[in-house]
Amino acid sequence: MGNVLVFGASGQLGQCLRHVAAERGNDDLVFLPEAEANILDTDAVKAVFAHYQPTYCINCAAYTAVDKAEDEVEIARKVNRDGAANLAQACTEYGATLIHISTDFVFAGTGNQPLSETDEAAPISVYGLTKLEGEQAVAEHTSQYFTLRTGWLYSEYANNFVKTMLRLGRERDELRVIWDQVGTPTYAIDLAGCILTIIETQNQQYGLYHYSNEGVTSWYDFATAIFELSNTHVRTVPIRTAEYPTKATRPAFSVMDKTKAKTNLGVYIPHWRESLKVCLARL
């Protein structure tokens, strides 16, 4: 299979890739230390590619501070657009395939039907805009790529909604959680499995894909399920987005259609509650 470079290896998805690769006995993945793997440093990127001669490159590196991005437009754009472009160019130069991670935040979220890869992207935040620009940069600089849009990522690693709810559920009697933003949670271990399946099957059906778990829920219902399945006793109160103002606007509806991923990539996608049970058992 050859070397598989992982950029952003210390983040949540990077750690999940390490976990799933170990489970599958896949020792081709090279988890690059941050000092070696700054995607904004074109010389460093080229040096890493020249050294490892990878067949695949996985880009888990991103600027993901959604609210801070409203004030830090340039750094968000550098990481999410220019960094992605640097990796895509290196992949073209070395004949490697790029697997790039994007987001459901590229959508406005004004509809009520599952979003397919051909639906119009119209981001309503700086984060969403810079991630869309990253997708476009990847497509511009390489033809051998898989861009996977995902959302609501959680796992037993790093900071995420599930771990935050478990902590707050232990500390408080009542939690107010938004109920009018609807999407699908994604267990990052499942996403890591999808990425490794693409590599292990040497799939060449390149392009843009949607990947989250199956089903539909709100943040309020997600939190309620976390507490129910973990036997955490806390009262949850549903609130509207307007009652919890944030600097960046979130899509109200970002449920994605995964038909293309299931058909072309040959992956089985579990329901979000089933994957949540697995994560909670591991935690």
Q: Is 127 a catalytic residue?
A: yes
Length of the chain: 283
Rounded CA gap, 174 and 233, in Å? 9
Phi, psi of 101 (to 5 degrees): -100, 125
Query: Given the DSSP bridges, would you call strands 174-178 and 29-31 parallel, antiparallel or unpaired?
Result: unpaired
Q: What is the DSSP string of 208-233?
A: EEE---BS-EEHHHHHHHHHHHTT--
Query: What's the token pair of residue 240?
Result: 């509207």
Rounded CA gap, 180 and 135, in Å? 28
The residue from 52, 56, 63, 127 that is catalytic is 127
Rounded CA gap, 51 and 96, in Å? 13
Query: What's the token pair of residue 200?
Result: 């292990």
How far, CA to CA in Å, does 105 sit from each of 162, 173, 264?
19, 32, 23
Write down the H helix ranges in the chain: 12-24, 42-52, 73-77, 84-94, 126-141, 161-171, 188-200, 219-229, 259-264, 272-282
Q: Which residues are catalytic?
A: 127
